[in-house]
Structure 1
Amino acid sequence: MHIVSSDVPFPIDYGGVIDVFCTIKALHGAGVHIHLHCFDDGRGHQPELAAYCTEVKYYQKLTGHKCISPKLPYIVASRSCNQLRERLLQDDHPILLQGIHCTYLLNDERFDNRPIFVRLMNVEHEYYEQLCKTTTVLQPLKKIYYHHESRLLKSYEKDIADKAIFLALSEQDVAVYRQKLHARNVVCVPPLLPFTEVESETGIGCFCLYHGNLSVAENEEAAIWLLTNIFNKIEVPFIIAGKQPSPRLEREVNLHGHACLIANPSAQEMHDLVRKAQINVLPSFCRKSRSVKLLNALFSGRHCVVNPTMINNSGLDTACHVATTVEAFQSIIIQLYHQPFDEHELLLRKEILAPFLNHGQLTKQLMRLLWQGEEARH
């Protein structure tokens, strides 16, 4: 089969590529010959992918005026590629498109009778609308871009709703695609994850941690919100770690003597930070289908403090401390900072997270969908 990824899915150092890589690895383990096609936005060729794929092809993501279209969202137009489409037309293998970003070929009638599946990372128009709302007025161009992209995505997602079979991460996204976008073929397939066991350590850590891909606007805003609203009043060690932090975030961190920024940690360094933290503090101001960042903190870390948007009807609220106000965040952090993560909490977490370890069943579900067509979807 063919898999088209919106980014190079290795290393698995941010949430957007974890499900992609784990899907490739799981299907390879089940005997599937994978032809992987990646849009490279600077991550480069990754020899590790060749261990799981029959072939790996890389394509340059477009930028600038080449991606401006009156109808196509930027995230789609920037991944239009004639060379990719011609390669995909050389056989009749099923095609799995990882994200709305990769769906440009659905506008090509030569693919009308091809078995095509789209993995939904989010309801993208809703996600970009939320990005617009959470972006500060001090960044007007970003705010305009997110608003424009959300408007284009809403129309685009409706247009392609009957052109593929959609694999949503959550039942909530299934409902949106059926009710608002009138998609007929959409099913829930939870994410495949790299976790094999709960690795959380009992005892006490020595800092609070916020982690994420800091080049993503919502993560930068969450980090700055924590600095200016929570850790401006709580003088405990606070680490922000992640990919490509902006000068704006660096300046804000420098204003807080008890905070530090770790830029571009390796996957192992990030794993160590999550495990050693006393509290993973993870607010979110944009609803997501499923937060791999949160799952990472729960599988590897100690206490986890979130807001309601982060847990998002995931069933993970009993594994977290949920704060609804600034004052609640401050109070919970002060309470937990010297409270050991004990055996009782560890056993409870293992029980809550057990359903996320059923990798074999998820792989079988995905394979039935990919090769049994209409019968599997019903």
Structure 2
Amino acid sequence: MDKHLHIISFDVPYPTDYGGAIDVFYKIKALHKLGIKIHLQTYEYGRGQQDELLKYCETVNYYKRDTGFRSFSFSLPYIVNSRDNEEMMRRILNDDYPVLMEGLHTTFFYNHPDFLKRKAVLRAHNIESLYYTGLAETEDNLFKKIYFKNESRLLEKYEAVVIKKIPTLFMTLHDAGHYCNKENVNWGLLPVFHPNEIITCQEGIGSYCLYHGNLGIPENEKTAIWLLQNVFNDLPVPFVIAGKNPSKKLEALAHEKQHTCIVANPSDNEIKDLIQRAHINVLPAFNKTGIRLKLVNALYNGRHVVVNDEMVCSTNLESACHIGNNAAGMKSIIIQLYHQPFTGEEIKLRENLLNTYYNNDTNARKLIPWLY
């Protein structure tokens, strides 16, 4: 008998140009490969309808997200309240297929009497309250800072209730630890899904150090600026920053010195090429929630990877990385590694770790028993 599944996505998961979309899209592909008939219910608010999704889904339905001031609430987080959609609810209740809710954003219906009878699982992409606290800390605009702080407060209350009601799959043990020690929480671990199928790391020595990410996200811009001002300020090795939508401020800072530069809005293939050609991927983070696809991509495709504890927390990837927890520590590691060839033994270590924890097919098979 065919197995059907509703997936509620917080955003259109194609093109795969940011972390949340990447995780959802490659999860859909992996489940489709295993014969699951997917009915995608997705909110659309700027990314448009995507024919690519029909290759892997039986049906794709798009719903308007109600953005604007009328979705602000004193009791519900904006990311949840703005996704209230009765048409979606009616469509899902027309059958008895299980439901995979991608992100806390998609849980508006969790307490509906009819929905409570359904087999449903929440996939938590991170601890949203902590994520929004981090956004508030890195935001300079006063209005946005107030919004992020209030959203974090509402999310903390909302998360605690929802996670007790719906079985929840976290990306990391750190995220699970935020709630799994509390009573009546049914939880499991499901690592991030990603586009990598084989390891393409190259032995030998690369040409520069690299930081990559979506530079339009305040946390990533903060990280890039921190590296420019604290690590590569007086470290005379080539340093490249690459990613989407860099600000004028970041572009100016990246071109202040002869040994630093920025590559704006590279394609997916260009990013992969930059990762492969780099000698060291330098990837610090400033919070521990969720998992960074940039780390997974660097380990699949790059040479040496230098991180801090926040980046590798609960990923099982610590042994494949070099860890420095401040600017001085990162400088010291980079100096040691910059003329040190990347070896086949290091590639074998990565193959073992990545195939054990981050194989899409294996993780899709782990997901299925939660749904049926």
TM over 0.5: yes
In structure 2, what is the Cα distance between the partners aligned to 1:369 and 1:207?
Answer: 44
- Using the size of structure 2 for normalisation, the TM-score is 0.92
Question: What are the superposed Cα offsets for residues 222-251 of structure 1, whole Å, 9 maximum, x if unpaired?
Answer: 111111111211233222222222333233
Listed as ranges, the gaps of 5+ residues in structure 1 are 372-378
The equivalent of 2:273 in structure 1 is 272
* Counterpart code for 1:61: R
Instruction: Give the deviation of 1:191 after TM superposition.
Output: 2.8
**Does the CA-based 8 Å contact 1:115-1:164 persist in structure 2?**
no
Q: Which runs of 5+ in 2 are unaligned?
A: none
User: SS of the residue aligned with 1:199?
Assistant: coil
Pair 250,38 (structure 1): closer, same or farther in 2 beyond 3 Å = farther
The answer to whether residue 216 in structure 2 is matched with residue 211 in structure 1 is no
d(CA) in 1 for partners of 2:184, 2:44: 30
2:59 pairs with 1:58: no
- 1:3 maps onto 2:4 in alignment: no
Shift of 1:50: 0.7
Go from structure 1 to structure 2 and tell me whether the alpha carbon gap of 1:54 and 1:144 turns closer, same or farther (over 3 Å shift). same
1:196 touches 1:357 (CA, 8 Å); kept in 2? no
Pairwise CA RMSD: 2.0
Residues 1:67 and 2:71 aligned together: yes
Q: Contact conserved, 1:132 with 1:144, CA < 8 A, in 2?
A: yes
Cα distance in 2 for partners of 1:242, 1:170 equals 25
Q: Which residue, out of 17, 21, 28, partners 1:17?
A: 21
How do 1:283-294 and structure 2 match up within 5 A?
283-294=284-295
Once residues 249 and 162 of structure 1 are traced to their aligned partners in structure 2, the CA distance between those partners, rounded to angstroms, is 42
Is 2:28–2:38's contact at 8 Å kept on the other side of the alignment? yes
1:209–1:97 CA distance, 2 compared to 1 (3 A): same
Residue in structure 2 matched with residue 114 of structure 1 by the alignment: 118
Q: Deviations over 1:139-175 (max 9, x none)?
A: 4333322221111101111222233221111233333
Structure-1 residue corresponding to 2:144: 142
Report whether the alignment pairs 1:339 with 2:343.
no
Shift of 1:320: 0.8
Counterpart-to-counterpart distance in 2, 1:183 and 1:220: 39
1:125 aligns with 2:129: yes
Which amino acid in structure 2 is aligned with residue 131 of structure 1? L
CA distance in 2, matches of 1:361, 1:254: 43
Q: Which residue of 2 aligns with 1:374?
A: none
2:249 equivalent in structure 1: 248
Label 1:116 to 1:243 Cα distance change in 2 as closer, same or farther (>3 A): same
Aligned length: 368
Aligned amino acid, residue 67 of structure 2? T
Alpha-carbon distance change, 303 to 285 in structure 1, aligned in 2, over 3 angstroms: same
**2:365 paired with 1:361:** no
Letter in 2 for 1:79: R
Which residue does 1:196 correspond to in 2? 197
Cα distance 1:254–1:75, how it changes in 2: closer, same or farther (>3 A)? farther
Superposition deviation, residue 43 in structure 1: 2.4
Partner of 1:105: helix, strand, or coil?
A: coil
After TM superposition, the structure 1 stretch with the greater mean CA deviation from structure 2, 351-360 or 81-90, is: 351-360
> For 1:87-130, what per-residue CA distance to the aligned partner results, in whole angstroms no more than 9, with x for missing partners?
22222211111100111121433312121111011111122223
Alpha carbons of structure 1 residues 143 and 357: separation in structure 2 relative to 1, 3 Å? closer
Change (3 A) 1:233 1:79: farther
User: For 1:87, which of 73, 88, 91 is the aligned residue?
Assistant: 91
Please tell me whether the aligned partners of residues 11 and 267 of structure 1 are also in contact (alpha carbons under 8 angstroms): no
Deviation at residue 183 of structure 1 after TM alignment: 4.6
Q: 2:108 aligns to what SS in structure 1? A: helix
Contact 1:13 1:266 in 2 (8 A): no
Contact between 1:214 and 1:243, CA under 8 Å: does it hold in 2?
Answer: yes
Structure 1, 282-291 or 229-238: larger mean CA deviation: 229-238
Q: CA deviation at 1:357?
A: 5.0
Once the two structures are TM-superposed, the CA of residue 85 in structure 1 deviates from its matched residue by 1.9
Which residue type is aligned with residue 203 of structure 2? T
